[in-house]
Amino acid sequence: MIYVLRSKNKLQGLFTAGTLSISLIILTVLVGGCANRQLETYQELRSTEVQPPTYYYTEIEKKSANTENEPTVEPDPFLSEIEDKVLKYQKQWQARLESETPIPNLFYDLSTDTMEAYRQLAALSEEAKTRLTQPIVLELLIALGYEWNPGLKSAREKIRAVLEQYPQAAYLENVLRQYNAFTKQLDTKVGPMRHKEMMAMKFPFPDTLALKGQIITEDVLIAEKEFEIALRNLVTEIKLAYYDYLFVVEAARINEENQKLLQQMIAIAQTKFRVGQGKYSNVIMAQVELSKLAEVIITLDQQRETIIARLNTLLNVSTDLPLGAPVLIEEERVTLTLSDLYALAVEKRQEIQKQKLAINKMRLMVEMAKQMTYPDPTLGASYFENRAMADLKHTQKMPMTFSTRRTLNPANAAWFGHRNSYIHEMDVKIEAMARKIEELESNLRFVVKKHHFGMETANRSIRLYRQTLLPQARQALDAANTAYQAAQIDFLSFLDAQRTLLKLKIEEQRVLRDYHQHLAQLEQAVGVILPKQPLTQE
């Protein structure tokens, strides 16, 4: 009996294992067939056009056909006129920005024939770089900086970005003025909820769109002032570097002239030493002085390379690009008095103008906030079938409910305290910005006074060197040279006269550089190029 049961269990186990193996084989065949069928179906879908389902013909096409008979919304002529004006501002600004003539009222006049020629040269990069290796003038550097400087390009592109706000404001109002339809879920509180379509139309206030256009215009004006500030600072930096370049080149030239003079005096001292009329110490002293001049020239050459790298950075070219020698500029002096400069700076300074534009923008925003305190008028209509109660009472179908909505009376609109607080906040900010203008004007007067004083001090020094000190030093050196060759004075007295003249020449160039730099910074502070006359004219 036990043997029979064991045999039966073995047979059942074998039968179960065999069934499982057959099932796995069948499953593998089915999966492979399905995969092949899916692949064939996919290839068929790619080669044949998919037919829309029946629902498309019963619902979608029916609604599309009905929309053809729906009444169209005629645009409001008044709103369309405002939109045209808003977009007209963008076209005007875009034309000014893309025209060959720069934005008017810039810090530096770029419309002269010379500047136009240099700006056209800037379009030819390799030719312009070749031109920079020749003797350069200040106007060339300013024109190339205007075209190549990345900071100036960034400020110019910011104006383009702000211009794109015009169509956004106009088209948004145009979209809001159209009909909108959406599925509204109606909760009847009892029974299943029904879904029916609702349509509504919003009528934006024309004043809001007009204010948005004015706000964008203020943004464009602010971006333009930022561009003017960037150009003003760039021109000033180029001028300061150019005046440093002039100084080191002239200082090196003066030292080289004195180096040649000392070499001649060393030859004379050596000749006198050979014939027994001079001392060997005179030769040694002259050689020491010559070595000092050589060290000064090396230092000036290193300073020149640093200034060239600074100019190249402002032009956005390689710092190793060699620059030609700078051409001397005409020496001029400002004709305006200090009180006139104060008044002109308060009127023309770009930061003050930008602050005033920001205040105007804030005031427009406050006005728009007051307009938007009340909601825009909206007309809407909807209907739904209230079948919930009918299904509940097993009675006849309830009649269709039709409801309308309108918000035409702003007096009935709710007043929210946070909106009123926002308007008060803007009023306080406007007052704070007005105080900021007072601070800017006070600091500006100090800067104008500082550079005007520095310019006048340098001007007096220039006259002192040219009219008194340098002529006397030249006469003293000539007299010492003659007396030394006649053995009336020693070599040390001649070296003192030579050192004095060298120092006075270098100081003259230094104060001349300081004068030009103070003048450039004074024009930067005022915000315009000042009227001038030749420096020697009194």
Which residue, of 9, 34, 68, is where some domain finishes?
A: 68
3-state DSSP assignment of residue 379? strand
Distances in whole angstroms, Cα of residue 108 to Cα of each of 141, 142, 228, 232, 459: 13, 9, 9, 7, 24
Q: Are 232 and 216 in contact (CB under 8 A)?
A: no
* One domain for residues 83 and 53: no
* One domain for residues 46 and 86: no
Tokens of 96: 């000014």
Residue 417 included in any domain: no
* One domain for residues 86 and 38: no
Residue 299 included in any domain: yes
Non-local CB neighbours of 387 within 8 Å, separated by 6+ positions = 191, 194, 397, 398
Q: Give me the pLDDT at residue 265, please.
A: 78
Q: Give me the pLDDT at residue 427, please.
A: 84
* One domain for residues 170 and 290: yes
* One domain for residues 52 and 94: no
* One domain for residues 137 and 21: no
Domain ranges, residue 49:
17-68
First CA to last CA distance, the chain: 143
Residue 418 included in any domain: no
* Local confidence pLDDT in tens for the 538 residues of the chain: 444 434 444 444 444 445 445 444 444 444 455 444 444 444 444 444 445 544 444 444 544 444 444 444 455 554 565 566 666 666 766 676 666 555 656 788 888 899 999 999 999 999 999 999 999 999 999 999 999 999 999 998 888 888 887 777 665 555 555 545 544 455 555 555 554 545 555 555 556 667 777 888 888 889 989 999 999 999 999 999 999 999 999 999 999 988 888 888 778 777 777 777 767 777 788 788 888 889 999 999 999 999 999 999 999 999 999 999 999 988 888 989 999 999 999 999 999 999 999 999 888 888 877 776 665 566 565 555 555 544 444 555 555 555 555 555 555 555 555 567 777 888 888 888 889 999 999 999 999 999 999 999 999 999 999 999 999 999 998 898 888 777 787 778 888 888 899 999 999 999 999 999 999 999 999 999 999 888 764 4
Q: Among residues 212, 126, 123, which one has the least CA distance to residue 169?
A: 212
* One domain for residues 126 and 96: yes
Non-local CB neighbours of 65 within 8 Å, separated by 6+ positions = none
Q: Give me the pLDDT at residue 470, please.
A: 94
Q: Give me the pLDDT at residue 201, please.
A: 53
Backbone angles phi, psi at 171, to 5 degrees: -70, -30
Taking the C-alpha atoms of residue 247 and residue 250, their distance in angstroms, rounded to an integer, is 5
H-type alpha helices, 99-205: 113-122, 125-132, 138-148, 150-163, 165-176
| CATH number for the domain that contains residue 455 | 1.20.1600.10
Which residue, of 29, 44, 68, is where some domain finishes?
A: 68
Taking the C-alpha atoms of residue 326 and residue 138, their distance in angstroms, rounded to an integer, is 8
Residue 496 included in any domain: yes
* One domain for residues 262 and 144: yes
Q: Give me the pLDDT at residue 46, please.
A: 44
Centroid of chain to Cα 485: 66
Distances in whole angstroms, Cα of residue 114 to Cα of each of 120, 143, 332: 10, 9, 20
Distances in whole angstroms, Cα of residue 120 to Cα of each of 117, 281, 304, 427: 5, 61, 28, 48
Please report how the helices 77-98 and 150-163 are oriented relative to each other, as an axis angle in degrees rounded to 10. 170
Tally of structural domains, the chain: 2
Residue 147 included in any domain: yes
Residue 327 included in any domain: yes
Residue type, 263: Q
Residue 243, Cβ density class (10 Å: 0-12 exposed, 13-18 middle, ≥19 buried): buried
Tokens of 93: 């600004």
Q: Among residues 201, 204, 205, which one has the least CA distance to residue 70?
A: 201
Tell me the pairing of strands 179-186 and 194-202: antiparallel
Beta strands in 315-436 (DSSP E): 332-334, 378-384, 401-406
Residue 430 included in any domain: no
Backbone angles phi, psi at 432, to 5 degrees: -65, -40
Q: Give me the pLDDT at residue 172, please.
A: 55
3-state DSSP assignment of residue 51? coil
Buried b or exposed e, range 24-38, using 16+ CB within 10 angstroms: eeeeeeeeeeeeeee
Backbone angles phi, psi at 386, to 5 degrees: -85, 80
Tokens of 364: 């427009």
Non-local CB neighbours of 220 within 8 Å, separated by 6+ positions = 89, 93, 159, 162, 163
Which helix or strand (DSSP H or E) is residue 195 part of? strand 194-202
* One domain for residues 257 and 171: yes
pTM of the model as a whole: 0.72
Residue 479, Cβ density class (10 Å: 0-12 exposed, 13-18 middle, ≥19 buried): middle
